[in-house]
Chain A
C-alpha cells in the first residue's frame, strides 16, 4: 500500500523567511497530493493541492511542486507570518482507490 514520508518533523524559521516541507510517496499510481494545515486544537484544513498532470501550483504565498519521477512533492511558504505557525500534513491518493494516506506532519514555528 501507499506510504508517505514527511520531513522535517519540526521547523523553525524567522518571520519573513521561507519554509520548505518535503514529502515522498511510494505508490507510483498516486496522482493527487493535497496539503493540510492544522492549527492548535482545530481540525485539519486544505490549503493547496496538486494533481499529477501538473508540476507546480501557486496560491499567493504558498506553492507546491511535484516530481513524479522521484516520487516527491514539496510545500513552499514564502514571506512567512506568525499565523503560518501550525502543523502541516502532506497526503497522497490515487483515483482508483478512496484511501488517502497522510504523512506524519511538520510543526512549523515562526520566530518574531
Chain B
C-alpha cells in the first residue's frame, strides 16, 4: 500500500525541454492535486482534479498542463521548461472536499 507515488524523484532539464511528472495513488480517492513548493512561498496550487475526467486551474497554472488519465493517475506536463519552474513538485490526494491531503514524496526539478 504505497499511498501516493510520484516519479521521477529528481530531474534536471535544459530550458525549452519538455517532461511529464507522474502521480499515481492506490487510496481510491477522488480528488488529486499538483502543488509546487518554493522557498518562502509555501505550497502553491498548480492544477487540481476533483474527479476522473475533470481538471481545473489553481493559483499558478501558466506553463503547465495536466491529464487525469483515470481515477488513479494524474500527470503534470511542462511543454517548454523555464528556469522559473525550478521547484519541488508535490502531488496530493484527498477523499472529498474538506478532508485531509495525503502527499507524495515530491519531485525535485531543476531547469538550467
Contact = CB atoms under 8 A, between A and B. Distances in A.
B106 A93 contact: no
A43 B97 CA distance: 21
Contact of B103 (A32, A45, A95): A45
Interface residues of B, number: 24
A93 B43 contact: no
A100 B42 contact: no
Interface stretch (A59-67, A74-82, A101-109): A101-109
Nearest to A1: B59
Contacts of A45: 103
Nearest to A42: B105
A53 to B, nearest CB: 11
Given A44-B43, A101-B45, A102-B42, A96 B97 contact: yes
B40 A99 contact: no
Given A46-B101, A49-B100, A99 B43 contact: no
Interface string B27-46: 00001010100001111110
Contacts of A98: 31, 33, 48, 50, 56, 97
Interface string A22-54: 000000000110101000001111100101000
Interface in B16-69: 31, 33, 35, 40-45, 48, 50, 56, 58-59
Contacts of A95: 97-98
17 contacts: A34-B100, A43-B103, A49-B100, A94-B98, A96-B97, A98-B33, A98-B48, A98-B97, A99-B58, A100-B45, A100-B94, A101-B45, A101-B59, A102-B42, A102-B45, A103-B42, A104-B42
Interface of B: 31, 33, 35, 40-45, 48, 50, 56, 58-59, 90, 94, 97-98, 100-101, 103-106
Given A43-B103, A103-B42, 17 more contacts: A32-B97, A34-B100, A43-B90, A44-B90, A45-B103, A46-B100, A49-B100, A51-B98, A89-B43, A93-B97, A94-B98, A100-B101, A102-B42, A102-B44, A102-B45, A104-B41, A105-B40
